[in-house]
Amino acid sequence: MERNLSMGLRFALLYREFNKKMDARAKSLGLTGVQLRVLGELMALEDAGREEVCQRDLEQAERVTHPTMTTILQRLEEKGFVLCRPGRTDRRQKCITSTPQARAMQADVAPNDAQTFQELCRGLTPEQVQAFLEITDVMLGNVLGE
């Protein structure tokens, strides 16, 4: 492998490979990788005890625009994975809940991210993987302004 790759290209190659693997797994479930990520975020917020998860919450988590999230949620609703309804406290907001179909699929979905990461980390020691996670946590903090 060429070791003289720019940092941007390194990140881009890792991102593309990770997405390619996740998209293949999502496709086997009748979803896209983006839909899979949104479902995962929705269920994580629900599992954390959020009474209402609004579209805006998902937009912020996924860093996408309102129209983009609207399209994603429409497709997930058509496929039976989410229900969209007006918010209880603010009826102008669209609140999203996962369906039993999405919950049933969650057991298949949850290991995908970890499995894909493990595949990309093949050949690394546990200490190197831990160091990578710590370093990327700092980098993400820089990006997110934390």
Could you please state the CATH topology (level 3) that the domain comprising 8-105 is classified under.
Arc Repressor Mutant, subunit A (1.10.10)
For 109, phi then psi, to 5°, come to -80, -40
What are the pLDDT digits (tens) for 17-44?
Answer: 888 888 888 888 888 888 988 998 999 9
**Distance, CA of 58 to CA of 62 (rounded, Å):** 6
Residues 55 and 73: beta-carbon distance below 8 Å: yes
pLDDT-based confidence at 1, cuts 50/70/90?
low
The ranges assigned to domains in the chain are 8-105
Residues 109 and 39: beta-carbon distance below 8 Å: yes
What are the pLDDT digits (tens) for 82-124?
Answer: 999 998 888 888 899 999 999 888 777 667 778 888 988 999 9
pLDDT-based confidence at 2, cuts 50/70/90?
low
**Distance, CA of 6 to CA of 107 (rounded, Å):** 38
**Distance, CA of 121 to CA of 136 (rounded, Å):** 14
